[in-house]
Structure 1
Amino acid sequence: MTLPLIAPMLATPGTLPPPAQDARWAYETKQDGQRVMVYLPGDGSVLLRARSGEDITGAYPELRPLGRALGAAPAVLDGEVLALDAQGRADFQLLQSRMGLAHAPGRAARRAAQVPVHLVLFDVPYLEESLVRLPYVRRRVRLAELELAGPYWSTPGAVTGHGAEALRVTREHGLEGLVCKRLDSVYEPGVRSRAWIKIRNMRAEDVIVGGWLPGRGRLRGLPGAVLVGQRDAGGRLRYVGGVGTGWSEAERTELAALLRDTAADRCPFDPAPRVPDAHWVLPRLVGEVSYSTRTRAGMLRQPSWLRLRPDLTPQESAADLPEDFG
């Protein structure tokens, strides 16, 4: 049969619901992977679509047996494709080696043998009929009744209430965050809804500014991003990424003046990163940034500027670099 095309419902960034409303919400672990809508027409086949609507089935051949998991019952499932590290945690950097291979079946099969993925399922907007108008709590029951558990897919549970504790647990285990879903929420295809709230666990660290990239458009004449580093155990300033968000217009203007005053001809990072159009500065400015996780190479993921740290010298700024950084 032809299944309806359903765009994934999206969560809005926010904070935990008020304690008085806690019991009205369910809490799921926020996964660091690739969002997929899974189409199972009931004929043994499976079709995976990315959030953009692109057919990415070919990138994940190990998920093809899922097509037979529900027999003849046609369904559309909502989930996330993950690549897991040695500790069983989602590692987006690992997953990137699997993405983009939808039209390269040979390479996809070889990568599947080296870096298998795991699909976590958390909603069912269609099961023999549309379920989008059912409340979340009833859709969750229908999903659990399917008992979808296999070598490369599973249906993790959700907890009702106890949001603060659930968030604390994700932080203690180094997980990306939490998704809060109102129990009475309907499924809104393609909508970024306040009925689903995502909370990303962010870390904060001090960094040393070693360069900047010029802004474009309305930011012309101002820094579009700063290039930052941290000292390793040997004292070398190691590049850990570019930070382009988190400033007000006034803060960006202030930073522009400070960067002009510390302009330098040589790159202060060791080794020098390959960053086209970079302007280097003397490594004198210390700032604090927030970020979600580090890549295996020690680079900051999703960094955002928090503030300048004029109270710290570059020698006093702390780093949390992996032992095998670089």
Structure 2
Amino acid sequence: MTLPLIVPMLATPGTLPPASQDSRWAYETKQDGQRVVAYLAGDGTVVLRARSGEVITAAYPELHALGDALGGTAAVLDGEVLALDARGRADFQLLQSRMGLAHAPARAARKAAEQPVHLVLFDVLHLAGRSLLALPYRQRRAQLEALGLHGPYWSTPAALVGHGAQALAATREHGLEGLVCKRLDSVYEPGVRSRAWIKIRNMHGVDVIVGGWLPGKGRLSGLPGAVLVGQRDAAGALRYVGGVGTGWSEQERTHLAHLLGELATGTCPFTPGPRVPGAQWVLPRLVGEVRYSTRTRAGMLRQPSWLRLRQDLTPEESAAELPDTSS
């Protein structure tokens, strides 16, 4: 059977729906992985396509058996490929060693034996020769669950109807990335970033010490395009944890440029010094507060954004210390 190519529907960043509308929404855990659409032809084969449309089937050989999961029934399924850590939580850092191996099947097979992935399925878009795109989420979800897709490397996690505040609190309590809210009457809109799906990312805040900056370009010429930040380790060394390039108003950037200019130095304050072409170093005297989604295993901040300058704190007073990532 020839299956239609379907571009994934996307969620819009936002907040929980109003409490008065809570019962009209379903809530799913936001996963930190690689979005895929799985095409099961009903002949035992499966084709996995990334959000870009690229065929990535060969990168995940442990998922090839999904092609037999529905027997002769053809289907198009929406989901996310995850790499799970020892606690069973998605770890994007682990997944990165598996991504990009679609053209290296031998290496992908070795990686699959070392660090198998898991595919979570959350929508069915086409089933047994019929498009389900125009059906409301409630009906598509019921049909997906009826398929019983639970296997060694794939599953269909439950979706919670209503109780959004409790669901979001649970993701925070368990250190999960966040929540996706889906309106029960929403149709599937391929390629659309829709308000019918809302994603809420759990963000963390931390104090960091500014040790350098990168000049901005274009309209930001002469201003910092990003600041390079770090945290002290247990021995007191300033360890680089990433660059922060968003979160300021133009006025705040101008003020920050003045402060950085006064602290200019030719010596990198980080140990070890990061390889950041074009970096301008400063004396580590400024403390800022940033928010971020998660950390890599090396302690680097993912998706950091600037919150505020902590002029009430000196670097010595800042209590934030780089967490131990050796385990």
Distance 1:324 1:251 in 2: 33
Q: Deviations over 1:194-226 (max 9, x none)?
A: 000000000001000000011122212111110
Distance 1:245 1:115 in 2: 34
Q: Deviations over 1:140-190 (max 9, x none)?
A: 000000000000000000000000000000000000000000000000000
Aligned partner letter, 2:187: V
Residue 103 of structure 1: how far off its partner (Å) = 0.5
Going from structure 1 to structure 2, the CA distance change for 1:175 and 1:324 (only over 3 Å counts) comes to closer
Partner of 2:38: 38
Alignment of 1:249-288 (within 5 A): 249-288=250-289
SS of the counterpart of 1:283?
strand
Distance 2:175 2:204 in 1: 10
Aligned partner letter, 1:202: M
Aligned partner letter, 2:299: G
Partner of 1:225: 226
Residue 321 of structure 1: how far off its partner (Å) = 2.2
CA contact (8 A) 1:15 1:199 kept: yes
SS of the counterpart of 2:284?
coil
Distance 1:115 1:158 in 2: 27
Q: Give TM-score scaled by structure 1 length.
A: 0.99
Distance 2:107 2:125 in 1: 32
Identity of aligned residues (%): 79
SS of the counterpart of 1:94?
helix
Q: Deviations over 1:15-51 (max 9, x none)?
A: 0000000000000000000000000111110000000
CA contact (8 A) 2:39 2:47 kept: yes
- Stretches of structure 1 that go unaligned for 5 or more consecutive residues are none
Q: Deviations over 1:304-325 (max 9, x none)?
A: 0001010000011122422246
Partner of 1:63: 63
- In the alignment, does 2:72 pair up with 1:72? yes
CA contact (8 A) 1:232 1:319 kept: no
Partner of 2:136: 135
Partner of 1:2: 2
Distance 2:134 2:325 in 1: 51
Distance 1:236 1:187 in 2: 51
CA contact (8 A) 2:178 2:201 kept: yes
Distance 2:153 2:314 in 1: 49
Partner of 1:11: 11
Partner of 1:172: 173
CA contact (8 A) 2:232 2:321 kept: no
Distance 1:63 1:284 in 2: 50
- In the alignment, does 2:148 pair up with 1:147? yes
CA contact (8 A) 1:27 1:179 kept: yes
Aligned partner letter, 1:94: L
Partner of 1:181: 182
CA contact (8 A) 2:234 2:321 kept: no
Alignment root-mean-square deviation, CA: 1.0
Distance 1:33 1:121 in 2: 12
Distance 1:294 1:246 in 2: 19
Aligned partner letter, 1:2: T
Partner of 2:237: 236
- In the alignment, does 2:15 pair up with 1:25? no
CA contact (8 A) 2:27 2:159 kept: yes
Q: Give TM-score scaled by structure 2 length.
A: 0.98
- Stretches of structure 2 that go unaligned for 5 or more consecutive residues are none
Partner of 2:199: 198
